[in-house]
Structure 1
Amino acid sequence: MLGFLQRIGKSLMLPIAALPAAALLLRLGQPDLLNIPFIAAAGNAVFSNLALIFAIGIAVGFAKDNNGAAALAGAMGFFVLSACATSLNKTINLGVLGGIIAGIIAGLLYNRYHNIKLPDWLAFFGGRRFVPIVTSGTMLVIGFLFGYVWPYVQLLISHLATWLYDAGMFGAAIYGLLNRLLLPLGLHHVINTLIWFEFGTFKGFHGEITRFLHGDPNAGLLLSGYFPIMMFGLPAACFAMIAAAKKEKRKAVSGMLAGIALTSFVTGVTEPIEFSFMFLAPALYVIHAFLTALSMAITYALGIHDGFSFSAGAIDYLINYRIAQKPLLLLLVGIVFAALYFVVFYFAIKWFDLKTPGREDDDAIVADVTENDAVGHTNGKYETIALQLIHDIGGKENITSIDNCTTRLRLTVNDSAIADSSAMKRHGAHGVVKLNKTNLQVVIGTDVEFVADAMKTLVNASEVLTENDDDSDSASAPDVKTVTVGAESICSPVKGDLVPITDVPDKAFSGKMMGDGFAVDPEDGLVVSPVDGKVSSIFPTKHAIGLTGSDGLEVLIHIGLDTVKLNGEGFTNYVREGDPVIKGQKLIHFDLSSIRDKVPSLITPVIFTNLDPSKHVVLKKKGSVDQGETDIITFG
C-alpha cells in the first residue's frame, strides 16, 4: 500500500509540473499586467481542463514504460467515466479527483495488458492498442457505479473543506504539519492535491491554487504560509548549518548548502535542504514541521492571501504580487521566520551536537556533485553520477525499476539493505530513504530527471531485450544472467591503439563499475559491431550503443569521454534498437576531427556488462589494432 501511494504521489508531479507555464500565461494576460486576453485564455485553457490533464499525466506516470498509449487510455477513460456518471446524475462534478482515478486505472490496465496477444483475426487490436479499449470498458462499469456513489464523495469533500476552513488557524496549522510530516514518505502530494485543486468553489473553479489565480478573494489562506518557510526559513537554516559546521568541513559544505538555499528562495523547491538534515538530525526535522505549522497559522490569522502555481518561491511571489492580499506583510513575516530558523537551528545543532552536514564524525559528508572528487569530470556529469549510483545501490542486478518525481529518484530494488547510503551521499545524493526492503528513494535535487534518464539508459544498455515486430506492440525482457564465453572471436570495433580498461582516464570506466572490458584510442571515426547479435540500446545522444551477442554476452561501446554533452552533434547512427547485426557491420560514424577538440578524450571503452564475475579481460596484444581484428583479448 505504501508503494502504491508513493506511485500516486510521484505520478501527480507530472501534471503539476505543467502548471507553472499555464499560470504564467494566465497572470501575464490579466489587465493588471500585460492585459492581453488571448494570452490569459491560453493559460486558462489548462486550468479549465485540469481533470483531463491529471488523467493523462497520471496514466503516463503509472505506466511501466511511460508509453503514450497509457496517456490515450487515460484521456478516453476520463471521458467515458465523466459522461457515464453525469448522465445518471447531472449534479456530479468529478473534478481533478475523477481525473486522478481515471489515470490510475488506465496506468494499471496498461501495465496488465500492454503486451496482450489476441487471436489472429483480432491481432490488430492486440498489445498497446488493446489498452484504450479495455480502459473504456472498465470505465463504463465504474461510471455507472459513480453515478450513484459520487454524490456522497462530493459531500465528503465538501465537509472536509468546510471543517478545515472553519477550524481557522488550527486547520491551517494541521495542514502545514501534515504536509511536512508526510514529505519523507513522498505522500504530501496526496493531501496537497485535495487542497490545491479540490477544496472550495469559485466561478466553477475548484481548489486553493485555481481559485486564487482566477481572482477568488477568499483563496490563498492555506497557501500563503509556505512563503515564509521556503523563501526565508529554510534558506536561513542552511546558513545556520554552515555556521555550525566544523571549521575544517565548513568550506566543503558551504557551496552545496548555499546553492540549495538559493534554489529554495527562488523556486520554492526545498527537498534538497530538508533531506540534508532529515535523517542526520530527525529532531530538527520535527522542529521544522512545527515551525511550518506555525507559519501557516500566523499567515492565516493575519489574513494574508497569496498563492503559487508550483511552489512558494520568489518567482511566484513576484508574479502574483498584484493579486495577493497583504504581500508586504508576508515579507515581514518571512524575515521574522528567517531569524527564527537561524537561531533555532544553530543553537539546536550546537547544544544537542546534531550531525548536520559538516558535523559528521566520519568523512562522509554530503557533497555538491559539481565539486565531488569521487565523480569523474571527464565523463558526462549525469551519466557519471548515474554510474556511481548504480554501483552504490548494489549494481544493476539489484534494481528492478527506476522512476523519479521533482527532486528524488524513486527506485524499486530487490534488497534496499545492500544499498550504500554513505557512498550515494558522497556521489551527489542529498539524502537516502530506505522505506522498506524493496522501496528506495534517493534525493538528487532539481536535476533528478537527467540522472534518472541516464540510469535507465545505462541499465537498459546491459539488459537482454527481445522485441517483437512493431505491429504486435509487445515486448519482453527476460532475466539477465552472467555469461562465460570465449573472447577470441570478439573483434575491435574501432581502428586505433588498444588500451587496458584500467588506463581509461575516467574512474567510472577504469574502476569497472559497469563491468570489465578494454578500450581503443581511435584513428578514424567508424564503429563496427564486435559481435554477432542485436542492438539492445542506443543512447539518445548517439555517443554510445548497447549490443547483445548471440551467445548472450552484453557489450556497451562508449565513444569518447564526456561526448554526451555534444547532444549527438558529429554522430551518425546506422542501426536502430532491435536490429540484428553481424560482426564488422557499421554501427556509428563520428566526425573525429570536428569533435576531438570539444571533449577531453576520444578513448572508446568497450564494456562487457554481464561477464561472469570470476572472469576478467586480458589483452593479448599491445599497440595498434585494425577495425574488425579478432584474437585481441581473452577472458582470464
Structure 2
Amino acid sequence: MLGFLQKIGKSLMFPIATMPAAALLVRLGSPDMIGSSHVKFIQIVAKVMEASGNAIIGNLPIIFAIGIAMGFAFDNNGGAALAGAIAYLVLSGVLEKIDKDLNMGVFGGLVSGIVAGLLYNKFYNVKFPEWLSFFGGKRFVPIITSITMAIIAALLAYIWGPIQGVIDSTGNWIIGAGAIGYGVYGFLNRLLLPIGLHHVINTIVWFDFGKFTDAAGKVVKGDIPRFLAGDPAAGLFQAGFFPIMMFGLPAACLAMYFAAKKEKRAIVGGMFLSIALTAFVTGVTEPIEFTFMFLSPVLYAVHAVLTGISLMIAAALNIHDGFGFSAGLIDYLLNLGIAQKPFLLIPLGLAFGAIYFVIFYFLITKFNLKTPGREDDEDEETETMQGTEDEVLDAKAYHTIEALGGKENIVQVDHCTTRLRLTVKDAGLANEKELKKYGARGVMRISKTNLQVIIGTSVEFLADAMKKRIAKGNPAPKNVVSEAALEETDVTHTNLLPEDFVMPVTGDVIPLSEVPDQAFASGMMGPGFGILPKDGVIQSPVDGKVMMIFPTKHAIGLVTDTGIEILIHIGLDTVKLNGKGFEVLVKQDQLIQRGDDLIKVDWAYVKENAPSIATPVIFTNSQNKNVKLEKTGYQRSGTSNIIRIEE
C-alpha cells in the first residue's frame, strides 16, 4: 500500500507542475494588476492571460487524470495519457447523467488516472487473432478503459456521496480546529516529504478542501484555486509556509555553514548560499532539506514541528496568503494585492529565521551531527572511476546492485526525480556505506521490502543501467579505472586561464543561477554558467579530448589538457528528444582544439520540443573552485576571456 501511495505521489508531480503557469497568468491578468490599465490593448492582453490561467485551473480534474495515468504507466507512454482523459470523460458523463449534484473534483481525475494507468500496464501488449489485431496492443487500452470506467462510474454515482461527506467532514474538522488544525497539516506536510507522500495530502488540501462560488456563479474547490478566485476565507493552509521557506530554512543553511569545520567552510559555503537563495526566491526547499534529512533525522523532526508551529501562528493571526508554485519571494510579491495581512509574514519570518539558526547550530554542535562540512574523513570516502561515460555508469550500476544485496535481493527498480524506489526481498541487506561510496546521498528504509536511495538528478540513467544489468545477471564490469589507479596518473587540476576558454556557441551568457533548472542552477552538478544560444554549431571551448558523448546526443563531456572536466548540456530536458535535432560530429576519446565543431543542433526543433534552449556549461570536477564571469550578454562563438576559474 505504501508503495502504491508513493506511486500516486510521484505521478501527482505531472499535473501539479501546471499550477505555477496558471497562477502566474491569473494574477498578472487580474484587475488589481495589469488588468487595471486604461489602455485597450493591455486590457485585452490581461483578459487573455486571466482566461488562460482560469482555463487550466478550471480543468484540473482532467489534467490530473492525464498526468497521473502517464505517471502510473511503466513507460510514461502517451497512450496511457489518452486513456486517462477518456476515463475522466466517461466518469464525468456518467455522474452528470445519474446525479448532476455530484462533483468529484480532482478526486475524479485521481481515480481516472489510476485506473487508466493500471489498465495500460496490464493490456499495453495484449494480442488478438489476426482479424482483430488492429485493436490489439496500446490501441486496446482506451477501449478497455472506457468500459471499465463506465462500470466504476456507475458505482461511484451511488457511493461517492458518503465518501465525499467524510472528506468534507475531515476538512471542516481541520478548519474548525482553528490554528491547531492548520498546524497539524503543516507538520504532516513536511513529515511525509522524505517518503514522497506529501503530494497526496497536498492534493486533498490544496485542490479539494472548501467551496467558493465566484462572481460568475462557478463553484471553486481547494485552497489554492479558492485563493486565486478571491475567496476571503482561503489561504490559511498556505500562509504559514512563507516564514519557513523564505527565512527559516535559509537560516538553517547559515547555521550549518558556521557549524562546519573551518577548513571545509569554503567548500560548502557556495552550496549553502545557492540553495538558500533558491529557497528564499522560489520556495524550492528540497535541496536544503535533503542536506540534513538523512544525515540528521533529529533536525528534520525539528523542522517539521517548526513548520507546523508557523502555520498555527499564521492562522491565529488570521494571515491569508497563497502561492501557485511555492512559498517564495516571487509568489509573495505576486499575491500581495489579494493577500490579507501579508506584511506580518516578514517579522514572523525573521523570528523563525532566528529560531532556526539557534536550534540548528545548538543541536549540530551539541550532538556532533554530521551535516555537510562536519563529516568524518572516512564518512566522505567515495570511489572514483574513470572510463567512458557508459562504462562508468555501468560500473556504478554494478556496485549499486551489489550494495543492495545483489540481483537476487532486488524485486523491482523504479525511480522518481531524485530517488531510486526499490522493492527488495530484504531491505536489511542494503549496505548504506557502500551505496554512498558509489554516489548515493542517503538511504531511506521504508519497510522490510521497500527502500529509497537518494541519487540526484542522474537517477534515471542509473535506474536504466541497473535494469539492463539485472536482466543480464549483473556480471562484473570491465574497462573502468578505479581510484587507486587514478592516484598513479600524472593528471593535475589547475586553474583555467581566461584565454584558454572560448565561447562554444553564439548567444547570451547568463549566470548559472538563472538557468531554469534546479539541478544546474543550485550548483549541484558543479560550478559554471549558462548560454542562451542564438545559432550555430556547438564548438569546443578548450584544447583537450572528448571524454563522453551521451547516447541521446544532447550533451557532451570534455576534459582539458590540464584535467578540468567540462559538461555542455544542450537545452533542458532534451534527453527526452532521443537524439532528434542533434548531429554529433566527433567521436569518443577524440583529441580536439578550440573551435572544433562538436555537435550540430537544429535549434528550431529543440526550441519547439524542449522546455528551454538554455545550455549550461558545467565544470564537473571543480566543486572547490570559483567560476567568475568576465563577460555577460551577447557573445559570438570563439570569443575568449569569457570566464575565469580560480580557487
Output the TM-score relative to the length of structure 2: 0.69
Which of 565, 573, 596 aligns to 2:592? It is 596
2:552–2:579 Cα contact (<8 Å) kept: no
Give how far 1:460 is off: 6.6
2:423–2:451 Cα contact (<8 Å) kept: yes
1:402–1:452 Cα contact (<8 Å) kept: no
Aligned counterpart, 2:152: 142
Describe the shift of the 1:424–1:214 C-alpha distance in structure 2 as closer, same or farther (beyond 3 A).
farther
Describe the shift of the 1:9–1:28 C-alpha distance in structure 2 as closer, same or farther (beyond 3 A).
same
1:272–1:431 Cα contact (<8 Å) kept: no
Matches for 1:214-225 after TM superposition, within 5 Å? 214-225=229-240
Give how far 1:185 is off: 1.9
1:284 aligns with 2:279: no
Letter paired with 1:143: A
Describe the shift of the 1:167–1:49 C-alpha distance in structure 2 as closer, same or farther (beyond 3 A).
same
Describe the shift of the 1:213–1:306 C-alpha distance in structure 2 as closer, same or farther (beyond 3 A).
same
1:96 aligns with 2:96: no
1:272–1:430 Cα contact (<8 Å) kept: no
Aligned counterpart, 2:67: 57
1:480 aligns with 2:472: yes
Give how far 1:296 is off: 0.4
Aligned counterpart, 1:202: 212
Matches for 1:414-563 after TM superposition, within 5 Å? 416-417=427-428, 419-422=430-433, 425=436, 429-443=440-454, 448=457, 451-456=458-463, 458-459=465-466, 479-481=471-473, 501=479, 539-541=551-553
Describe the shift of the 1:461–1:480 C-alpha distance in structure 2 as closer, same or farther (beyond 3 A).
closer
Identity of counterpart residues, as a percentage? Answer: 51
Describe the shift of the 1:141–1:418 C-alpha distance in structure 2 as closer, same or farther (beyond 3 A).
same
Aligned counterpart, 1:610: none
Give how far 1:255 is off: 2.9
Matches for 1:224-623 after TM superposition, within 5 Å? 224-365=239-380, 374=384, 388=396, 391-394=399-402, 397=407, 403-405=414-416, 407-412=418-423, 416-417=427-428, 419-422=430-433, 425=436, 429-443=440-454, 448=457, 451-456=458-463, 458-459=465-466, 479-481=471-473, 501=479, 539-541=551-553, 565=569, 590-591=585-586, 596-597=592-593
Give how far 1:354 is off: 2.5
Matches for 1:5-154 after TM superposition, within 5 Å? 5-35=5-35, 36-154=46-164
Aligned counterpart, 2:169: 159
1:409–1:452 Cα contact (<8 Å) kept: yes
Give how far 1:161 is off: 1.5
Q: Which shows bigger deviation, 349-358 or 323-332?
A: 349-358
Distance across 1 between alignment mates of 2:383 and 2:277: 23
Describe the shift of the 1:274–1:452 C-alpha distance in structure 2 as closer, same or farther (beyond 3 A).
same
Distance across 1 between alignment mates of 2:138 and 2:416: 25
Distance across 2 between alignment mates of 1:45 and 1:213: 13
1:228–1:333 Cα contact (<8 Å) kept: yes
Give how far 1:399 is off: 6.4
**Unaligned runs of at least 5 residues, structure 2:** 36-45, 214-218, 490-549, 557-564, 599-647
Describe the shift of the 1:125–1:223 C-alpha distance in structure 2 as closer, same or farther (beyond 3 A).
same
Give how far 1:400 is off: 6.2
Letter paired with 1:434: R
Describe the shift of the 1:332–1:99 C-alpha distance in structure 2 as closer, same or farther (beyond 3 A).
same
Letter paired with 1:91: D
Q: Which shows bigger deviation, 351-360 or 231-240?
A: 351-360
**Unaligned runs of at least 5 residues, structure 1:** 367-371, 464-478, 485-499, 512-537, 545-560, 577-587, 603-636
Give how far 1:540 is off: 2.3
Which of 159, 176, 191 aligns to 2:186? It is 176
Distance across 2 between alignment mates of 1:589 and 1:299: 55
1:394–1:418 Cα contact (<8 Å) kept: no
Secondary structure of the 2:10 match is helix
Secondary structure of the 1:363 match is helix
Larger Rg: 1
Distance across 1 between alignment mates of 2:252 and 2:236: 25
Give how far 1:215 is off: 1.3
Aligned counterpart, 1:470: none
Describe the shift of the 1:223–1:125 C-alpha distance in structure 2 as closer, same or farther (beyond 3 A).
same
1:411–1:440 Cα contact (<8 Å) kept: yes
Distance across 1 between alignment mates of 2:115 and 2:181: 32
Distance across 2 between alignment mates of 1:415 and 1:218: 48
Distance across 2 between alignment mates of 1:241 and 1:46: 40
Secondary structure of the 1:394 match is helix
Distance across 2 between alignment mates of 1:164 and 1:595: 65
Distance across 1 between alignment mates of 2:55 and 2:427: 43
Secondary structure of the 1:321 match is coil
Secondary structure of the 1:364 match is helix
May I ask how many residue pairs the two structures share in their alignment? 504
Output the TM-score relative to the length of structure 1: 0.71
Letter paired with 2:161: P
Distance across 1 between alignment mates of 2:342 and 2:397: 43
Distance across 1 between alignment mates of 2:158 and 2:475: 58
Q: 1:467-509, CA deviations, whole angstroms, 9 ceiling, x for partnerless residues?
A: xxxxxxxxxxxx424789xxxxxxxxxxxxxxx946799999x
Q: 1:62-105, CA deviations, whole angstroms, 9 ceiling, x for partnerless residues?
A: 11000111101111011111211221111100100111011011
Letter paired with 1:142: I
